Chains A and B, each alone.
Chain A
Amino acid sequence: MFKRFDGDARQPVEIFVDGRPVMAREGDTVSAALLASGLDVRRQTAVSGAPRLPYCMMGVCFDCLVTIDGMGNRQGCLVPVRPGMQVEIQKGKREIGR
């Protein structure tokens, strides 16, 4: 869907998506890093389990919800990546506190 622009000179940042290492860049939001990763990062909705990817990327649609470092329902499009960050793709309703 997306590729990185050739002239991007930002520092790489390693994060983990469902345990798999992914190279993001400094300044990426979690959602941008996921979209650029080429992985299947579709979440499933809590209502029907329908697959979704981020829609607005500006904090209003909530289709980018992910679990970040154990905390569920974070807006991936607003959270910047940090080295070693653990990201989980949400499948259905979140366990509380997850």
Chain B
Amino acid sequence: MTSNRPMRDEYDVAVIGAGPAGLAAASLSAQSGLSTLLLDENQGPGGQVWRAVTSTPLKQTRLLGDDYWAGSKLVEEVRASGAEILQGATVWSLDPHLELGISVGGGSQFIRARRVILATGALERPFPIPGWTLPGVMTAGAAQTVLKSSGLVPSGKTVVAGQGPLFWLLTAQILRMGGQIDLILDTTQRLNYLRALPHAAAFLRSPYLLKGLAMMREVRSKVRVVSGVTKIAASGDGRLERVTYEVRGRSATAPADLLLLHQGVVPNVNLAMSAGVKHQWDEIQLCWVPVLDSNCGTSVDGIAIAGDGAGIAGVLAAVARGRIAARAAVEALKPEAGAKAPSMDTLRAALAKVERGRRFLDVLFQPPKQFRIPEGDTVVCRCEEVTAQDILDSVAIGATGPNQLKAYRRTGMGPCQGRLCGLTVTELMADARGKTPEEIGYYRLRAPVKPITLSELASLPKDESATKAVVRG
């Protein structure tokens, strides 16, 4: 059922995030008879991949593809499962004792769970090029979000730049809906095709192969694609006006009203790290991933992570991991109910099948260094407006890691709390200091992982008459 605030103070299982992993986890958990609360920040379920699956204005199957509509089946399943579903709920705190701080409908409250499954998914990797803060520069995922949820398509001169499997999916979707794309700048490194070759055999059996190739063909037949792009800069007076790029040392400029950037996705680590979950640097995916056991369990007792937050593996793996995490919760809390659900072996086999070929994609689409580690006055921290050079200057006077850098330059201390600069800062400092990202480390993250108003935290009214009653009473 869908509710407006949590109906209990304590649940067997709290699942955070209603994307593929969260829906699968909540569904299996509730079907097994565990009291289950599914919390999600958006207005409807689906996460990013299945965003607005229950409300999209694009009802024609063809436009978004079968994979998108597969989400509605899982939404129906969770709605029938008995799980309590809370949309528009922001989880701003999770501690190692499994107490959650939740903000919903303008008020905050705390609940406890015996098991927590984090399914907070991924976010797009920072793409810090010169001018990426200009109005008119957005992530490709942002365009996909407004496309799915509001049926908005690019209308002015549009350039899409970057790489990765989602990159081609999005451009195909925009074109199918009559959106405008004038130019595609492909930043895939030519060398990566060679590097990925040893992993190609596994990819040949991947469910993604044929779909991916078909999509690339579809896009290339409609839009000019420039490959081997090694530099990109956005510029304009107060808003984007043009995109300058370089191929084989030759520079070119294209006029643009909208530049969509995308170079893959990375786990959204904020809530997990703030709960104390141990993470490590993944040398292939070039991001932080949680250290997990075979049940998706983390270093914090009772907290599991499923979905792309556990390491990027795509929608099918997210569903499989969600079920594994939920199954583990069932085995721990109500083992007798486990008989009804698929066995752990079955679930793990399903995961292995859909993970096939992932390495190929990871290596092929490893983003080039110059698009991860910017130089000069390119902004790194969008919130506090700190440049790459500012960070190098701080390193020169003794800042050794992201946490000291906060004191020098306030990087990561704005409202996004490092989500858009954290990876860049780690890699930039590692590069400058000749260390590995693992040695440099990451921001120490703290609750609230999303800003909350003082009134909300105090759980006190905001309007004047109610205020007077409290102050006098």
Contact = CB atoms under 8 A, between A and B. Distances in A.
Given A5-B177, A35-B146, A51-B238, A61 B155 contact: no
A2 B60 contact: no
B19 to A, nearest CB: 11
Nearest to B54: A27
Contacts, number: 138
Contacts of A35: 146, 152
Most buried by A among B43, B59, B142, B383: B142
Contacts of B239: 42, 51, 53
Nearest to A77: B145
A21 interface: no
Nearest to B416: A62
B135 A53 contact: yes
A27 B136 contact: no
Interface in B404-445: 414-416, 419-420
A18 B142 CA distance: 24
B384 interface: yes
A75 to B, nearest CB: 8
A63 B58 CA distance: 27
Contacts of B137: 55
Interface string A1-37: 1111111111000000000000001011100110110
Contacts of A73: 415, 451
A54 B198 CA distance: 40
Interface string B234-247: 00001100000000
A33 B150 CA distance: 8
B152 A32 contact: yes
B150 A25 contact: yes
B239 to A, nearest CB: 7
A83 to B, nearest CB: 16
B341 interface: no
A57 B57 contact: no
Given A36-B150, A47-B384, A80 B57 contact: no
Contacts of A27: 43, 52, 55, 57, 149-150
Interface of B: 41-43, 48, 52, 55, 57-60, 88, 123-124, 133-139, 141-143, 145-147, 149-156, 177-178, 238-239, 257-258, 268, 382-385, 414-416, 419-420, 450-451, 453, 462
Interface of A: 1-10, 25, 27-29, 32-33, 35-36, 42, 45, 47-48, 50-63, 65, 71, 73, 77-78, 80
24 contacts: A1-B136, A1-B155, A2-B146, A2-B258, A5-B58, A5-B147, A7-B60, A7-B151, A27-B149, A28-B150, A32-B150, A45-B385, A47-B385, A51-B134, A51-B238, A55-B139, A55-B420, A56-B124, A57-B138, A58-B145, A60-B268, A60-B419, A61-B419, A77-B145
Given A2-B146, A3-B153, 10 more contacts: A1-B136, A1-B257, A8-B151, A27-B149, A51-B239, A54-B142, A55-B420, A57-B139, A57-B143, A61-B382
